[in-house]
Structure 1
Amino acid sequence: MKNLLNTGNLIKSLIIAIIMTAASSSNAQQIKPTSSGYAPANGIEVYYEVYGEGMPIILLHGAYYTIELNWGRLIPELAKTRKVIAIELQGHGHTPYSDRKLSRATLASDVEKVMDYLKIDSADVAGYSFGGQVAYQFAIQSPKRLRKLVIISAAYKSEGWVPEVINGFKKLKPELFANSPLQAAYDAVAPDKTKWTKFLEQMMASAGQPFNLGDDNIAKITAPVLIISGDNDGMDKVELAKTYKLLGGNVAADLQPMPKSHLAIVPNQSHVSLMQQTKTILDYLNGFLQ
């Protein structure tokens, strides 16, 4: 009972944070996509939105999010100088629910299929949380399509999270998300609102399963990587330091060349509040990508 109560309190805190994020996004400058639609990808239709012109950057949202909920404040800024392609992953937002097995490898392949459909040879890729896991997988299996990689508050293996988060994933229940901003965002754009519970069950089953994309695979990523993390976002900072070392970081740069990959720890930020720090994230992105 105590564990269930703790999990319920954890989700309630998360919902409150998401309410703040949703309100923040709704107050942001809104711009319309220059184009949007569906791209065929591995047996499903994946929704995308395109903004602006310039070097392409692909945005991959967090679990249960929509494009607007996750990226609403960043897209108008990025689109001033970049071609922004925002994707909604399987079952999220406009992209229909599918019984297709949910796997990071397939989702990363979906991203490549969207690129094929839009005739984009290579792009920078930025992923937040669950989208960051997919972005890591994309870097592993589609290296020739990737220029630079941005990982925001995401791990490539279960052990990258602190134990409280790992245990919380295992105890998620659809009823904890009832009448939440996440459900409201889903209902506003989903092609079939009756799939909400099935969608949650599919995502939660995936979240409860241990995963590991492999230390060796991360070490083989040749593209420069920017990792952005809140100091208290639920990620294990010891494991995060190991990740950065795998990517060539954690050196004495006064004695040898500065590594091409960067690590940014943003103080006083949680997993959700980190995405509200628009100027901070934008400054890191512009400094790294340019």
Structure 2
Amino acid sequence: MKRVLKGSNILRSASIIAVLLFTTVLRSKGQQSKPAESGYAPVNGIKVYYEVYGTGKPVILLHGAFMTIEGNWSQLIPELSKTRKVIAIEMQGHGHTQFSERKLSHAAMASDVEGVMDHLKIDSADVVGYSMGGSIAYKFAIQSPKRLKKLVIISSTYKSNGWLPEVTAAFKSWKPEFFTNTPMKTAYDAVAPDKTKWTKFIEQMIVFAAEPFDFGDDNIAKITAPVLIIAGDNDGLDKVELAKTYKLLGGGVIADMGPMPKSHLAIVPAQGHVSLMMQTNTILGYLNGFLK
């Protein structure tokens, strides 16, 4: 029993360290880029913050849990915005977007994305989501198929058991005090419209992260937009489930004996969930090739 508890504590510590490392490294390495436009879109009873960079065909970026636009995308935005209109969104309670007592759900946040598109008068767009943002992107593809052109999922899944059991166990072990005096708290205080909501936000996110979810294999199979899945070979995703997902999207065929699938799968070697997002050139190469 002691060994089990010790392993659980190690896993818990590792998960928090990974998140903190992620925030620290990306914020310190990110290139500073000023948005051409920023503001709040009134959607579904809350005001969702967004930033717009560059011109061209729109691509929407959805960040991971506890993240901000700067923390998640600062290295990619300067390059993507050279040829595209980049719309980066901060989800409910994150960054500049106000905390809300509204229950956090993938469906609500996917609806928020569509609301921001309405506000900016964007009929359809490519959507790129990382981690939590990838799950929201999957939900968006299911709820709003006509608003989606191409979908990019980075280190994410549409169901809880798409993660390895150790990852879901880590989610359930989180406690509010783990996040006190962290770079995430510093980042929150720098931009949050109401800094007093920090504890409530963390408590809300912990409940959200621990809740099982499954958008349904049938719904994933009905996605008609081309999908690019990018994953690290050791990023915490169950690769057996990931292969099943790719097959649902039309992949996993013998392309030498038939047409190449419109959806693609990229497994980046020697990368975890945290380090994958730091491979800017690699991810940018995949994005440019797929989105063009």
TM-score (norm 2): 0.96
CA shift, 1:159, in A, is: 0.5
**1:64 paired residue among 63, 66, 69:** 66
The sequence identity of aligned pairs, in percent, is 69
CA distance in structure 2 between the aligned counterparts of 1:71 and 1:122, rounded to whole angstroms: 21
Total equivalences in the alignment: 288
Partner of residue 13 from structure 2, selected from 1, 6, 9: 9
CA distances 1:2-32 after superposition (whole Å, capped 9, x unpaired): 355224322343145225523xx43333110
Write out aligned runs for 1:4-83 (5 A): 4-22=8-26, 25-83=27-85
1:116-155 to 2 correspondences below 5 Å = 116-155=118-157
Q: State the distance in 1 between where 2:201 and 2:106 align.
A: 16
Distance change in 2, residues 1:16/1:35 (3 Å): closer
Residues 7/177 of structure 1: CA separation in 2 closer, same or farther (3 Å cut): farther
CA contact (8 A) 1:21 1:273 kept: no
Q: What is the letter of the counterpart of residue 211 of structure 1? A: F
In the other structure, the counterpart of 1:266 is: 268
Q: Could you list the per-position Cα deviations for residues 61-82 of structure 1 after superposition, in whole angstroms to 9, with x for gaps in the alignment?
A: 0000000000010000000000
Are residue 208 (structure 1) and residue 210 (structure 2) matched? yes
Counterpart of 1:278 (choices 271, 277, 280) is 280
Task: Name 1:178's counterpart in structure 2.
Answer: 180
**2 CA distance for matches of 1:125 and 1:16?**
26
Distance 1:217 1:52 in 2: 33
Residue among 282, 287, 290 paired with 1:288? 290
- Find the aligned partners of 2:77 and 2:23 in 1 and give their Cα distance: 19
Specify whether residues 139 and 100 from structure 1 end up closer, same or farther in structure 2 by C-alpha distance, changes over 3 A only. Answer: same
2:19, 2:216 → 1: CA distance?
A: 32
CA distance in 2, matches of 1:115, 1:57: 11
Counterpart CA distance in 2 for 1:195 and 1:146 is 33
Question: What is the alpha-carbon distance in structure 2 between the residues aligned to residue 153 and residue 64 of structure 1?
Answer: 15
Uncovered stretches (5+) of structure 2, i.e. residues with no partner: none
Q: Is the 8 A contact 1:18 1:181 kept in 2?
A: no
| 2:229 aligned residue | 227
Whether the aligned pair in 1 keeps the contact of 2:30 and 2:71 (CA below 8 Å) is: no
- Structure 1: gaps of 5 or more residues: none
CA distance in 1, matches of 2:117, 2:20: 35
C-alpha offsets along residues 160-194 of structure 1, whole Å, 9 cap, x if unaligned?
A: 00010011111111111111111111111001111
Contact 1:8 1:176 in 2 (8 A): no
CA apart distance, 1:54 = 0.2
How far apart are the structure 2 equivalents of 1:147 and 1:19?
A: 30
Contact 1:58/1:123 (<8 A) preserved:
yes
CA RMSD of aligned residues (A): 1.2
1:192-240 deviations in Å (ceiling 9; x for gaps): 1111111111111011111000000000000000000001110000000
| Corresponding letter in the other structure for 2:64 | G
Kindly state the Cα deviation for residue 53 of structure 1 after the two structures are TM-superposed: 0.2
Amino acid at match of 2:185: Q
Alignment correspondent of 2:239: 237
Tell me the distance in 2 between the aligned counterparts of 1:4 and 1:249: 36
- What is the SS of the residue equivalent to 1:244? helix
Out of 87, 110, 113, the position equivalent to 1:111 is 113
Supply the distance in 1 between the matched residues of 2:240 and 2:165 (Cα, whole angstroms). 13
The answer to whether the Cα contact below 8 Å between 1:31 and 1:76 also exists between their aligned partners in 2 is yes
